[in-house]
Amino acid sequence: MESVKGNAIVTMRDYRKGNWTLEETLVLIEAKKLEGQRRMLKNPSTSSSGELRWKWIEEYCMKKGCFRSQNQCNDKWDNMMRDFKKVRDFERRRCDDNDNEEHHKNISYWKMDKIQRKNNNLPSNMLPQIYQALAHVVEAKLGSSVLPTIVIHPDTTTTPPHLPLPPPPPSPPQESLPKRRRSSEGGSRSISEQISSSASVLIEAIKGYDEREEARHKELYNMHQRRYKIEESKIELERQGFNELVGVINNLSNSIFAFTSQRTRL
């Protein structure tokens, strides 16, 4: 929105309130990833202020149809990273206990219901898509070696990418370990690329819809602005007319007073 104060036009954005949608969250994660890359390419040794970084993220999100303020984006990011680290650390500990007899009693976060997640002090609603996107950002910032090895099972829809799964069964004697590792990594990359491609198509579709909505809102806003200027012009004309009427009455009063004074002297 824009408001007129004197001769200056002040831009006031109408930020969206309420819960974040999946599409808005993915846009925010993409903005945070691009902002980090942009900052590193610009000058890795120089760190800009947090306010400027989140202002850039807000501008990116607004262009992509995510109408959230920089403070909303900052708070949402902090909450997501806190939940992401809890799930990641839980899965790491679960896989590190692979040789422990109690390991089989510890099920994956992605197979738990909300009550089980709550009992384990874990977030109750972390989505696989969000976890995967955040994992990409962490890998880009810290390096892929920081996260555990990821294997995507082709037959499951509940286990998200970037979650460690139990080790595969032993290979036949004639198959070498390097060959098996290359095959697993190739399948992981292929499925990850398909998911990323699908997410990109979805975001582009949402972007097109939001752009049309934004154009419609701008047209409606311009119509209100024209109506506001017409009302202003009307009020100004009425004010000028009133001032002219007051001037005429004053002149008439002065003429009557002068005429009366002249008659008195006679």
Residue-wise pLDDT tens digits, 222-259: 777 787 688 778 888 888 888 888 889 988 988 898 88
Q: What's the chain's average pLDDT?
A: 78
Domain count, the chain: 1
Residue 138 lies in a domain: yes
What pLDDT, on a 0 to 100 scale, did the predictor assign at position 133?
94
Residue 35 lies in a domain: yes
- Angle of CA points 125, 131, 34, to nearest 5°: 130
Structure token digits, residue 190:
């292929």
Residue 106 to residue 90: CA distance in whole angstroms: 10
Residue 178 lies in a domain: yes
What pLDDT, on a 0 to 100 scale, did the predictor assign at position 150?
40
Residue 183 lies in a domain: yes
Q: How many residues does the chain have?
A: 266
Residue 39 lies in a domain: yes
Classify 91 as helix, strand or coil: helix
Is the confidence at residue 32, as pLDDT, over 90? yes
Is the confidence at residue 9, as pLDDT, over 70? no
Residue 152 to residue 209: CA distance in whole angstroms: 32
Residue 72 lies in a domain: yes
Contact between 126 and 158 under an 8 Å Cβ cutoff? The reply is no
What pLDDT, on a 0 to 100 scale, did the predictor assign at position 189?
62
Supply the range of the domain harboring residue 177.
Answer: 2-228
Residue 45 lies in a domain: yes
172 compared with 37, residue with greater pLDDT: 37
126 compared with 239, residue with greater pLDDT: 126
Is the confidence at residue 186, as pLDDT, over 90? no
Residue 10 to residue 65: CA distance in whole angstroms: 21
In this prediction, residues 213-218 reach a mean pLDDT of: 78
142 compared with 116, residue with greater pLDDT: 116
Enter the pTM of the model. 0.51
pLDDT band at 209, cuts 50/70/90?
Answer: confident
What pLDDT, on a 0 to 100 scale, did the predictor assign at position 188?
57
Quick one: what percent of the chain has pLDDT higher than 90? 35
**Main-chain phi, psi angles of 13, to 5 degrees:** -85, 145
Residue 235 lies in a domain: no
pLDDT band at 19, cuts 50/70/90?
Answer: very high
159 compared with 212, residue with greater pLDDT: 212
